[in-house]
Structure 1
């Protein structure tokens, strides 16, 4: 073991001068150094050229406080390689926001594995810890010249591994450049096995273990990288200029506060691990005697880097010391996932146990606990069980959920992005690299909790997320599962996979006995099906389906249609009570995908009112077909005027009628009621209002998403009466229970996304159809059904936009529909799991739909949607969409990729960008700046409180009983905040604002998970609070739960209690104690402000009865 101490450098005063920084950066921008690694060879100088530094040594390991534990390290070779690139560099790519790392080490190449020969990696700024970049220096007395007068150390700690690369094997025949491009091909992405000299390739290395062994564990446990440089003052000034640029990022995005706030007194200690030390700290522990549920949590904590394998024995001992209950052990371990690193096990576990001693949390009946596993190139990440919406399989095996996991294949921080380069690399050698790791998992399985899980199926939506369900055949018999689902005879591999995935799609069961009536024939003509996916149902069936989705009153409690699944059938059931009995459904052949004995009706969603919105694709197509630019610009200017100032209007209690539409974005959080009750100055309500305003403006700027007042977006169904003529539709909509139903009678446009096809039609009124609301009824007459003319749509759940704004209808040119013929599907005589696995691999490998959309949008802006390149992209899009039916991959030719991108596509960090002169560029710049959100700070606001609440007195014993509940709520809330990368108010509001850092899931797709997460938190808190308050007796006009609400309000907002709360947290009274070493630089987060609103109805009740109720002091006594 060696120990070294370094002095800490305080930044010179000149680096606070922006003009000096600007001059220095410009000066270095004129200099050019060789660009390292793979990438486009351009004549202009890149950031990697400008801001690269050549280290003398590099080390990898872990950081605890200011002690760096070195696992691996070596001196670096300097100079240029055969391509005139730096042989060892640390480069700051400020445009792409990544650190580029390369190291040729002074070690025998024969003993180095592929990933270290040489080491090449890219670390995203997003993956660096808060204040995780440390720069120190000390003068070198032996420095002979100004060029090596300083020893500078750069230490970077990270949240997750960087993207590693490895050279091709000597036998691989790789071309020097990508065909038709200037991209060098000199390496591929590395996986965990590339860190070992094993002689076994990734694809054939058997099941992937939860805890990696030996060198394969390096990426998991290397959370810190450290470089030592000898440099002169000028180079050091350039390094500090880079640090200044990184500091500037935090001004726009607080999450990007990456530079450490070092002090002059701080000192570093370096500890070098020996081989024995490495085994003791990082060797996989023996968990064979640990119960499965506990073992998976331990494996998850190790895989996430929250704890080292060597800490397992101490952790298990502490768990057994505080409790003998396995379930309680699991609750403690689940709570540990909110930690970034476990520092002090002996202190942490007893503190956690002290307030986790309560009954299990409330579970909503439609949710189940599911284990999720992420397979990345270098890690296997097991998360704690999470409550998720159930499906038929998880309901069937509700008592065997230990035998099922959901696996998602991702990159280290992102979804897998398979570009042409990745596909070429895979074709060169499919036995190594990222796709080889996917094949390995599918063929040999994953070892989780000591049990091997194998793939079984993936629903359509899960496949889009590169996810698949795996089962443990010892717990759930795979053959029995397949027999239970039904008999799938489909020989087209892609369709067979889709059929197998049906029972895994999210749904809720309808608790009623239904009568499955005689099948209805499909209405077919000219080889077209006019009723594709649409059947009929009785009134009570639809009502009960709505009830299963918690729609109990109002228009949504009596829907006109539902999207459903029943055994091997799926599609839409619409209301035709005159054709069936109230408990009957009748299906059509087009709805039955395979035969199954399952008779439970599962509802996915109901038909309900949705406003029509334009988006970038629709606007682009419409303006290219005659819609005036001025019309779109006017609509956007009106929308901006309606949105801006929303938070201020809430503060002043002056919301407008248009504001009510913004407020309606909060589906579950009762913002409108709380504003009416006078809580409009509350910090959380103002934050929610700010989020609504921010997200609405972001949607305008980045998605061009604007509401159309004369339009709706509704599910499509078939006209069972045959009264609609060819080219006619029927639409009766009702926005809410307070508004009357309206029948559209006019010439209209019917559109379907994402195909962006548009048809002109006539919306007519038919008495026979007036019982149908919030659906679009399509004619079953004529030569061809209208849905198929809209990008190949059907009636099994597709939504359609109907526009009757005559400014659009009359100006738009409509062309003949595209007559697209899908390629011949891939079929086999008998589909096996091996075929399904390869179909999944091919989907991931050829998932280019998003890339095609982006290319089409960019080229349409640069030229027109009618340019031959855009038309070709439309055909590629159709092939890609049909992969789930055909298994045929779509190829995106590199020549169709734009060389430049319009500014509205937000590609400025990695692409060459131009200012768009088209309609999308014009409306993009109407919203001047990207809207940002910053949470309220109670201290800065002066701890505002509502005297209508605070007038009621408090009882200390009840406050003490509620504090552990608040701690538990906020711990779970902070876990969800980290899980989804959101601010606190985004969770109760159910609205995720745009965040470029959030890459795994699209912002808009987070809304439902956020609402589910918040409902679970609130129900858990309320159930526990009810039990607590039962131990008290009160003499007051308030109900027991209103008393709880009063006390929770005090804990959340009143200054004396908030300060006491913060002090208790700092002292570790609720299971978390900040580190007390010199590296505790991260400021505590602002006090959370949402706890009180778990009791929002009680708070409303209190203020509503103030005028008529005298205040009686709360006298309470424990009833023990």
Structure 2
């Protein structure tokens, strides 16, 4: 193989954002002075280094001598570039290969091809005996590639470093592929095109390393092939980062398999109690992520055992291991070899342990909140098994039963390599992946010496492809050995079930998240209440009654309800019952009234009333695309929708045109409220420090506004002011007449309100035109027991059919109902509600086994096509004149209904009944919008239009059945709404309303600190400086963890502003991120609430020193840099702690001055002090 004899130079000290072209312009004159005209400069995107390959060895050496002697070449007048020769194997290269290349000898060299497409890179490995045919295929999306390094080391090679394992495929077994082209079948029965087979590994050797192998070396034929690849990778903005550096591959001294075996042995026991499971879990987590070799971690085990033997708390040790590599770059040839040495890692561990004075806020948050549990997670992909967490989660019945053994339970999620759902594609055979998942569900997960086996799942967790696993343990209270079947028996009696789906759903009730539980003295105060049934319909399906005394007892224990209006409906789990209990003012004492429709299985203990949801306030109501489409088909004029949309856009701009409006906007949207930012903005306005001077606070407002606008454009999310979302129950008094509803609510001022007259009632999701019905909203007599109720909608028990069942098959066990009376949205007519036949759950004719339930779980994942069917419905409805009222659309709506019921029936929707239409043609409003990126330096938004697909994309030709989507200009409401909203223009206008030259955050915060110090003259706070540093470190570590835990992609964490605001840009288009955003908000809110508490409150619960403690935190935040992390390839500093501290500090200062904050720059009349010296 030809290897070039040119001269390679490594250049460092380059600011990461600098483009390759800018560097070339800078260096070109210096190269010309040495007579160098043939050279290549390669700099990866957002990398701080570059390489220069000079074809003439002698001239290259001369150029390097000049640059090293000069040692003064500067970029942007302040960055000094460093030049050195890159040649030959060295310690850095060797360590890089050992750390990142999992097992070189396991991968034999194979002949193949490397294809560079528009959005992905594919490695094809040729079939050994079929010329021109591939046998194996590795697909790497550009977003999954960290970097491609071009090397002329041992050979001309490309080292591809990925964040996640590639998708692996084998060609379908077919020894005679040429026969595929022969017409051996009729048109009607012609065979489908050959499928590719998704596989977990390429061969047995690859299977040992595939889950942790994140570098693949592709040896190229010669320098010409290398140059061609370099040119291909210089394409558009979506191309992965590319750099050049000579890397000389070396084989590890020991096989990866042998290394892992030693590590498994070391982590399989607790070393006489000195190495707890929580610590071992973190050690294995790092290795599974491919961040450290097994041998490197094994070398640290004695140090961890030593920590345990010295009595260092296990949580401190676990945290030290969890954050061992925080702030360190991944192993790389440009890094000093010593960074990952045993000595360096031990030093980092010791520093972390000695610097931790107390438990981290993660552990303290769980200790302080009885409804939270710290849970370890496992993520299983086609290629690997990865550890995550632990993280605080809302507890459930099972965890409360075994509160001392929570480490014996883990949550296991099955996903694709990038964290997304395993998608079912027509062109791909996934049987091998489903078999792998089934084998793991039916077998055991071996984690640090413990065998975890399948336990169960709630209905909501099944939708996210997540299940609970547990390992056997001895209950310290009873000394009984606890194992999965015993846990299920302790939940209730399930031997009478014959349907795996229904049995799994009933067991799943015990895994529902429950915030509060109340221990009832006995079952003597529980009474049976008959169901209200008529015409085969249950009007009271899922709802019972609760006495005021018991309801108030729940309210006292429920988090966040102190001082709030009374709650009148609770979503509950109790023994084998589930549903909603509405407050019955006429009941005395602690009483429950339960109906037969609420009973799902037999259970006698524990006698705990568990609360998984409450109706404490009316929720805001919004239009969405499916609802807009149905309203259009029911005759609502297009102009009415546009009027509301236009008002929404104008309101957005108005909400951000002044500090008080901004604060109110953030408050109303519940954005950054836990961090105190709305109040901080009000305080800045009070003391007259301009908000526009602060880039971070501007970015919070801009992100919140643009996310809301994108929700309007791409989701049709338009606020309905005359409407609300309420939990439903039945009027048990019989006061309401047929088709009447009663929906009083408490407004923001604390007053009772009730709308009288005609209203529209619906329930999400809306798929059938009959999912919107009319009702008469009424008030009740002043002496009615219903008069005391509010923030709930009560339905009548009269009529031929109950109203909830007419709204997409709703019931009263916790469903939320949309009620609106907005004149612009009231349709002139309605359609009859859907009345699909009820499908009985599959009956297997015997007792349900664990294997039956795991099969149902896998079948659900394989048939999870609700999103696909919903898109088909939206596409077809836009084309047809009658829209959703067309018989084909109604047929799809029925398929969606069956898909929604699959979790409880086990019956898959019959996709053969899907109407035939060209699915390649879609309306323009379903086209993907531009990517919106956050610039890490400015925290400003950048709109990146997606390029049209290259028709000659070589990767696309591999999958000819995946044809290009064609978008047409829709003339319906959704199409016109989509085109009327210019998000880029809106953002430009938004930025124009603020100062484009906003200063760094330190300038505003510095003024706040100066103000606070002057206004609190005489208060000593320096004694709290170390405490403030600890609080900040805790906060920033937790925020950093959240940014990774809830990101779409392991290599692309959320931006700090996305975490603080709870507005993730990708959530507009990605269902998984949208589902996790609310969980992310809850997690961050818990952490920031704990941070605020830690600032104000000492260990004894006293708040006397809240002001000096908060001043210390603000001072530390202003004077010392925050946690630095890599984001989008650049080093950025976390900033938000300073704003949390500033918010608390100004709140405490306001209390200190009796509720008054003077202007920044004014004098205090009380003591004559100068608050600001101008």
Partner of 2:1109: 1044
Match of 1:1012 among 1083, 1090, 1094: 1083
Q: Is the 8 A contact 2:1096 2:1107 kept in 1?
A: no
Any idea what the Cα deviations from partners look like across 1:136-178, whole Å, max 9, x if unmatched? 679x9xxxxxxxxxx9643321111111112345699999699
Q: Give yes or no for the alignment of 1:700 onto 2:712.
A: yes
Partner of 2:762: 751
Q: Give yes or no for the alignment of 1:559 onto 2:622.
A: no
Aligned pairs for 1:323-342 within 5 A: 324=309, 325=312, 326-336=314-324, 338=326, 341=330
Q: Give yes or no for the alignment of 1:948 onto 2:1011.
A: yes
Partner of 2:70: none
598-607 vs 278-287, which moves further: 278-287
Partner of 1:531: 540
Q: Is the 8 A contact 1:700 1:706 kept in 2?
A: yes
- Structure 1's 71 and 1022: CA in aligned 2 closer, same or farther, altered over 3 A? farther
Partner of 2:953: none
Partner of 2:775: 761
Q: Distance in 2 between matches of 1:819 and 1:1015?
A: 44
- Structure 1's 1095 and 394: CA in aligned 2 closer, same or farther, altered over 3 A? farther
Partner of 1:853: 870
Partner of 2:96: 64
Q: Distance in 2 between matches of 1:743 and 1:175?
A: 72
Q: Is the 8 A contact 1:637 1:926 kept in 2?
A: no
Q: Give yes or no for the alignment of 1:879 onto 2:898.
A: yes
Match of 1:389 among 371, 394, 409: 394
Match of 1:259 among 233, 241, 244: 241
604-613 vs 1006-1015, which moves further: 1006-1015
Q: Give yes or no for the alignment of 1:900 onto 2:921.
A: yes
The answer for unaligned runs of 5 or more in structure 1 is 18-60, 78-86, 111-115, 141-150, 197-213, 250-255, 1032-1037, 1067-1071, 1075-1079, 1115-1120
Aligned pairs for 1:647-726 within 5 A: 647-650=656-659, 653-655=660-662, 659=665, 662-666=668-672, 668-678=674-684, 681=691, 684-726=696-738
How many residues are paired up?
A: 969
Partner of 1:272: 250
Q: Distance in 1 between matches of 2:751 and 2:702?
A: 31
Q: Distance in 1 between matches of 2:1115 and 2:436?
A: 53
- Structure 1's 833 and 656: CA in aligned 2 closer, same or farther, altered over 3 A? closer
Partner of 2:377: 372
Partner of 1:23: none
689-698 vs 313-322, which moves further: 313-322
Match of 2:277 among 292, 306, 316: 292
Q: Distance in 1 between matches of 2:643 and 2:489?
A: 58
Q: Is the 8 A contact 2:171 2:195 kept in 1?
A: yes
Shift of 1:911: 3.6
Q: Is the 8 A contact 1:537 1:574 kept in 2?
A: yes
Aligned pairs for 1:31-430 within 5 A: 64=96, 69=101, 71=104, 77=111, 88-93=113-118, 97-104=119-126, 118-129=135-146, 132-135=147-150, 153-169=157-173, 184-192=193-201, 194-196=202-204, 215-229=206-220, 236=227, 239-240=230-231, 242-246=233-237, 249=238, 258-260=240-242, 262=243, 267-273=245-251, 276-278=254-256, 281=259, 283-285=261-263, 286-287=265-266, 288-290=268-270, 291-320=276-305, 324=309, 325=312, 326-336=314-324, 338=326, 341=330, 343-344=339-340, 345-359=345-359, 361=361, 362=364, 363=366, 364-421=369-426, 425=429, 430=431
Partner of 2:488: 482
Q: Distance in 2 between matches of 1:276 and 1:66?
A: 10
Partner of 1:574: 582
Q: Distance in 1 between matches of 2:924 and 2:305?
A: 58
Q: Distance in 1 between matches of 2:21 and 2:360?
A: 56
Q: Is the 8 A contact 2:288 2:386 kept in 1?
A: yes
Q: Distance in 1 between matches of 2:965 and 2:139?
A: 17
Any idea what the Cα deviations from partners look like across 1:794-851, whole Å, max 9, x if unmatched? 1111111111123322x34211111111333211321111111111111111111111
Partner of 1:644: 653
Shift of 1:732: 1.0
Any idea what the Cα deviations from partners look like across 1:386-414, whole Å, max 9, x if unmatched? 11110111111110112211111111113
Q: Distance in 1 between matches of 2:20 and 2:1004?
A: 41
- Structure 1's 750 and 661: CA in aligned 2 closer, same or farther, altered over 3 A? farther
Partner of 1:735: 747
TM superposition score normalised by structure 2: 0.76
- Structure 1's 1046 and 1020: CA in aligned 2 closer, same or farther, altered over 3 A? closer
Helix, strand or coil: the match of 1:748? strand
- Structure 1's 956 and 548: CA in aligned 2 closer, same or farther, altered over 3 A? closer
The answer for unaligned runs of 5 or more in structure 2 is 12-18, 26-92, 182-186, 271-275, 332-338, 475-481, 930-945, 947-963, 1048-1053, 1159-1163
RMSD over aligned Cα, in angstroms?
Answer: 4.0
Match of 1:492 among 499, 506, 514: 499
Q: Is the 8 A contact 1:883 1:889 kept in 2?
A: yes
Q: Distance in 1 between matches of 2:383 and 2:1100?
A: 49
Shift of 1:1015: 1.6
Q: Distance in 1 between matches of 2:649 and 2:498?
A: 53
- Structure 1's 648 and 239: CA in aligned 2 closer, same or farther, altered over 3 A? farther
Partner of 2:600: 593
Partner of 1:822: 838
Q: Distance in 2 between matches of 1:8 and 1:180?
A: 62
Q: Is the 8 A contact 2:577 2:599 kept in 1?
A: yes
Q: Distance in 1 between matches of 2:178 and 2:867?
A: 27
- Structure 1's 511 and 338: CA in aligned 2 closer, same or farther, altered over 3 A? farther
Q: Is the 8 A contact 1:534 1:591 kept in 2?
A: yes
Q: Distance in 1 between matches of 2:709 and 2:1094?
A: 38
- Structure 1's 1030 and 575: CA in aligned 2 closer, same or farther, altered over 3 A? closer
Q: Is the 8 A contact 2:94 2:250 kept in 1?
A: no
- Structure 1's 275 and 1098: CA in aligned 2 closer, same or farther, altered over 3 A? closer
Shift of 1:1021: 7.0
Partner of 1:923: 977
Q: Distance in 2 between matches of 1:233 and 1:270?
A: 20
Partner of 2:829: 813
Q: Distance in 2 between matches of 1:534 and 1:469?
A: 28
Q: Distance in 1 between matches of 2:7 and 2:504?
A: 59
Q: Is the 8 A contact 2:551 2:567 kept in 1?
A: yes
Helix, strand or coil: the match of 2:1132? coil
Match of 2:555 among 546, 550, 563: 546
Q: Distance in 1 between matches of 2:469 and 2:1168?
A: 59
Any idea what the Cα deviations from partners look like across 1:760-818, whole Å, max 9, x if unmatched? 11112222332221111111001110111111111111111111123322x34211111
Shift of 1:450: 1.4
Shift of 1:232: 8.3
Match of 2:517 among 495, 505, 510: 510
Match of 1:967 among 1009, 1033, 1043: 1033
Q: Distance in 1 between matches of 2:217 and 2:400?
A: 50
TM superposition score normalised by structure 1: 0.79
Q: Is the 8 A contact 1:729 1:776 kept in 2?
A: yes
Partner of 2:1059: 987
Q: Distance in 2 between matches of 1:599 and 1:880?
A: 35
Q: Distance in 2 between matches of 1:284 and 1:269?
A: 29
Helix, strand or coil: the match of 1:88? strand
Partner of 2:933: none
